[in-house]
Structure 1
Amino acid sequence: MTRSQDVLETNASTPLKASEDSPLPSATLGGEQRRSLEQITLLLFITVPFLALVAAVPLAWGWGVSWLDLGLLVGMYYVGCHGITIGFHRYFTHGSFKAKRPLRIALAVMGSLAVEGPLVRWVADHRKHHKFSDAEGDPHSPWRYGESVPALLKGLWWAHMGWMFDEEQTPQHKYAPDLIKDPAIRAVSRQFVLWTVVSLALPPLVGGLVTMSWQGALTAFFWGSLVRVALLHHVTWSINSICHAAGKRPFQSRDKSGNVWWLAVLSCGESWHNLHHADPTCARHGVERGQLDSSARIIRWFEKAGWAYDVRWPKRDRIDARRKEQPADAA
């Protein structure tokens, strides 16, 4: 068992040791505290795309959106979304499968294009979330302030995005030592600013070249960059907030994770969140019949191509052992 897997299986009530507050090696991107400049930058990356997302509704209603811009939005959205769900989450965080070296690096880059933070920090935060899920120490539980309606509303805001402005950060050397030791992955994580620029610049570059106009580049930037980033951010954050406050819970887990069906397509299968917390290393989250999980489907394609192996697919006895009620057919 690897050290990262040890972290996932440690009891949620175990307190962090004082030694875990020591500084990270300088080779990793980001420290243990967010500086003022980083917080301001983070605020801009949240508010500017969000304003674009709000403006997109009347713009689409009044002037419409071109097929090129729509294609760039959808294409870039699902590249980044699957980079997060397959790469950052199921592979790097939980080890749901093993990957050949080229796929490993490609997934690191794809996830970085989602503009959700450096890989090492993302993984460290999520591993800590699983260790303390919906208990004291969880970086983004919506139950942080209590279970009353006012407390839950405040907690939902915290879980959705407020936690990202917290100065105290997850110790990366404690929760992601395997990634820090990998020079290529460490480099991708440190190059987060570069991949952010690539992610935002690619749609206007394509839009400008296809239309041979500045207007084409501008509309592509609006839809393919700003609106796409905002939509992906809020869908991802909804897994932290909505999926830990609502939804069905057919499986036994030590937290309040639930399945939210209407987020399944946009989240690439991540919103089947109850099974994930009941069995974190499972490569498929939507295990019931009819539960769409595009991330699991793509992992299957990777496996058939020989790029991924030792995939932890759901097994009936393992699923039934975690079920609260009588067993039902698994997908």
Structure 2
Amino acid sequence: MDSAAHSSETDQEFKSKTERKNVKRKAISSPYFHRLQRRHFILFDILPIFGVVLAALLSLYLPISALDIGLFILFWALTGIGVSVGYHRYFTHRSFKATPAVAVLLTILGSMAGQGALLSWVAMHRRHHELSDQPGDPHSPNLHGSGIIGGIKGLVHSHFTWMKAHDYPNVVYYAPDLLRDPLISKTARYYYTWVLLGLLAPALLGGLLSQSWWGALSGFLWGGVIRMFVVGHIIWSINSVLHRVGTRPYQSRDYSRNGGVLGLFTFGESWHNNHHAFPESPSFGLQWAIFDPGYWFVRGLSLVGLAWDLRVPTAQRRSSRKKRNVQSL
């Protein structure tokens, strides 16, 4: 090998090592953060499983009521919008602008879902987009080997187990805009208060509307715990399933895919390949007729003057990103 070739190879190795080092600096790995992550994982990801089991056992003695279903749907919708429209489209990608009152409300509703504090969630998701399906992506299902075993390990990791301990994205690097916003930073600081509100509000409503302690318990389970369990798995399925299965109509540098049939349950989040192709768009369906309740909510806000500057890509830009052959698995 001549000296020029050797020098070029050495430069490439140095550049590669430097890039890997810089990536690591953007995230923090420490026992302290891992303890906090495990505590959150147990409280809001493991314990709701027991709540679902308890509700199933209680239903053997007293049938599930219309009030239970109503409270579940109400708080599923409120917290789902909080995560999809608030945490994701507004705070992470800044895909539209909104009044301070709307921003505060979306912070509270998103926090009630129990998916993590706002600044941490935003930092994590911005890191995901930066390194999607590459080393450093916190929840890719595609980095755990090939074959059936590797696929299963990847899906389990990306859907659930990654949350118990992972590198913590540096919020100073990934979310400086939120740190500079005193109103949002102060509101987000009360994350655990808002999570508790999301559990106690349906219990209070259940008790008042049924005039019974049983109604309060049932409201706590259905509008609080079971709702948290369901919303969590809906969000996690985007990380896991839709980086492995679905259609890929748009060019992207990762394995993000669309799963349109899940649109109703995910508030439009299942148009995941669309989103990775145009992350700045508040519309994930990219067309009005495509089922995207999250975007319809944003459009509703804009019609009454509470949101503006919706950055939906033009038809020409969408066409330029189209793949010639739609891929699916």
Please indicate the TM-score interval, normalised by the length of the shorter structure. Answer: 0.7 to 0.9
Matches of 1:19 and 1:52, distance apart in 2: 37
Q: Return the alpha-carbon distance in structure 2 between the equivalents of residues 18 and 281 of structure 1.
A: 23
Rounded Cα–Cα distance in structure 2 between residues aligned with 1:121 and 1:63: 40
Instruction: Mark the structure with the bigger radius of gyration.
Output: 2
1:164 aligns to 2:163 (yes or no): yes
The one-letter amino acid of 1:260's match is G
Aligned length, in residue pairs: 309
CA shift for structure 1 position 126 = 0.1
The 3-state SS of whatever aligns with 2:162 is helix
1:36 offset after TM fit, Å? 2.7
Paired residues of 1:83 and 1:110 also in contact (CA < 8 A): yes
Given the superposition, is the C-alpha separation of residues 102 and 288 from structure 1 closer, same or farther in structure 2, using an over 3 Å criterion? Answer: closer
C-alpha distance in structure 2 between counterparts of 1:192 and 1:248, whole Å: 36
Show the counterpart of 1:234: 233
User: Structure 2 vs 1, CA of residues 186 and 287 (structure 1 numbering), >3 Å: closer, same or farther?
Assistant: same
2:37–2:163 Cα contact (<8 Å) kept: no
1:244-269 C-alpha deviation (Å, 9 max, x unpaired): 11111111111111111232111100
Does structure 1 conserve the Cα–Cα contact (< 8 Å) formed by 2:34 and 2:165?
no
Task: Give me the whole-angstrom Cα distance separating, in 2, the residues matched to 1:57 and 1:321.
Answer: 50
**Aligned residue number for residue 7 of structure 1:** none
After TM superposition, the structure 1 = structure 2 runs for residues 71-90 of structure 1, keeping only pairs within 5 Å, are: 71-90=70-89
Q: Which structure shows the higher strand fraction? A: 2
The more displaced of 140-149 and 200-209 is 140-149
Deviation at 1:14, TM superposition (A): 5.0
Q: State the SS of the aligned residue for 2:153.
A: helix
In structure 2, relative to structure 1, the CA distance for the partners of 1:147 and 1:289 (3 Å cut) is farther
Q: Tell me how far 1:57 sits from its aligned partner.
A: 5.5
Contact 2:37 2:165 (8 Å CA) reproduced? no
Give the direction of change, closer, same or farther, for the CA distance of 1:89–1:226 in structure 2 (3 Å limit).
same
**C-alpha contact (below 8 Å) 1:33/1:169 kept by paired residues:** no
Q: SS of 2:146's equivalent?
A: coil
- Unmatched 5+ stretches in structure 1: 1-12, 24-30
1:182 aligns with 2:181: yes
Moved more, 191-200 or 62-71: 62-71
Q: TM-score, normalized by length of structure 2?
A: 0.87
Name the counterpart of 2:260.
Answer: 261
Q: Which amino acid aligns with 2:300?
A: W
| 1:87–1:111 CA contact under 8 A, matched in 2 | yes
Q: CA RMSD in A?
A: 2.5
Cα distance, 1:326–1:141 mapped onto 2, change above 3 Å:
closer
The alignment partner of 2:122 has SS state of helix
Q: 2:212 is matched with which residue?
A: 213
Q: For residues 22 and 14 of structure 1, what CA distance do their matches in structure 2 show?
A: 13
Letter paired with 1:263: L
Match of 2:248 in 1: 249
Q: 1:128-171 CA deviation, whole Å, 9 max, x = no partner?
A: 00000001110110012123211111011111121111242111
Partners of 1:259 and 1:272 within 8 A in 2: yes
Q: Distance in 1 between matches of 2:52 and 2:210?
A: 23
Alignment correspondent of 1:323 = 322
Q: Do residues 115 (structure 1) and 114 (structure 2) align?
A: yes
Report SS of the residue matched to 2:248. coil
Q: Distance in 1 between matches of 2:111 and 2:238?
A: 18
CA offset at residue 22 of structure 1? 8.6
Task: Tell me the residue number matched to 2:42.
Answer: 43
Letter in 1 for 2:210: T
* Runs of 4+ with >6 A deviation: none
Q: Secondary structure of 1:281's match?
A: coil
TM-score, with normalisation over the residues of structure 1?
Answer: 0.86
Aligned to 1:150: 149
Percent of aligned positions that are identical: 37
